[in-house]
């Protein structure tokens, strides 16, 4: 954005970089971009080697479902939703594998026709050892702040449950959650 002023100014260069990948010696291409997945799977037969495309849908299986949280104007929201929806339906069934972070995402992918054998769950989690560390007793109020999106893959409910013993041991514990996302009501 800094060099090209807008995302749209950089888009042609980004597409050319992806096209150049078809002619390199890559055997596996990991991507989080629907655009890259679409271009590579659509043009794969024209490359010198067949590239295996691994789409990493860590955030959500369908980026189109996140458009409403981006606070864009109505025209841009509609254009992005249509583009992402098209790319999801065309690119995702053609990739070699999709990595996701929650089983629920796999169910959503299966509903649009993705073979279960292509879906691999790679969960994000925090080791229990994090909560067994001694805390500094600098004040009588212990505060923990989470800043980020409220998505299934963040598993915030187990995080809250992990603080239960700390709440019993101390008189005052503040858990602050700052963000937005589909799991906010929960």
Beta strands in 15-70 (DSSP E): 28-31, 52-56
**Rounded to whole angstroms, how far apart are CA atoms 74 and 78?**
6
**Rounded to whole angstroms, how far apart are CA atoms 128 and 76?**
42
**Rounded to whole angstroms, how far apart are CA atoms 37 and 181?**
25
Per DSSP, the residues of 80-112 read HHHHHHHHHHHHGGGSSEEEES-HHHHHHHHHT
pLDDT value of position 117:
94
In the chain (186 residues long), the average pLDDT of successive 10-residue segments reads 68 81 76 85 72 81 76 84 88 90 85 90 72 66 79 75 76 81 79
Burial of 69 (C-beta count, 10 Å sphere; 0-12/13-18/19+): middle
pLDDT value of position 97:
92
Instruction: Measure Cα distances from 37 to 89, 99, 104, 144, 169 in Å.
Output: 11, 13, 22, 38, 49
Whether the full predicted model's pTM is greater than 0.75, yes or no, is: no
pLDDT value of position 139:
66
pLDDT value of position 119:
92
**Rounded to whole angstroms, how far apart are CA atoms 84 and 80?**
6
């Amino acid at each position: 954005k800094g060099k090209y002023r807008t995302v749209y100014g950089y888009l042609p260069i980004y597409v050319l970089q992806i096209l150049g990948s078809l002619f390199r010696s890559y055997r596996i291409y990991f991507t989080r971009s629907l655009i890259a997945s679409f271009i590579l799977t659509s043009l794969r037969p024209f490359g010198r080697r067949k590239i295996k495309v691994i789409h990493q849908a860590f955030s959500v299986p369908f980026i189109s479902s996140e458009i409403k949280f981006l606070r864009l104007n109505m025209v841009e929201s509609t254009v992005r939703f249509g583009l992402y929806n098209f790319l999801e339906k065309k690119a995702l069934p053609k990739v070699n594998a999709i990595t996701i972070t929650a089983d629920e995402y796999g169910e959503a992918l299966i509903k649009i026709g993705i073979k279960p054998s292509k879906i691999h769950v790679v969960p994000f989690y925090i080791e229990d050892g994090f909560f067994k560390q001694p805390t500094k007793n600098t004040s009588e109020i212990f505060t923990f702040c989470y800043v980020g999106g409220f998505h299934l893959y963040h598993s915030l409910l187990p995080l809250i449950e992990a603080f239960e013993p700390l709440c019993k041991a101390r008189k005052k514990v503040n858990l602050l959650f700052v963000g937005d996302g589909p799991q906010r009501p929960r």
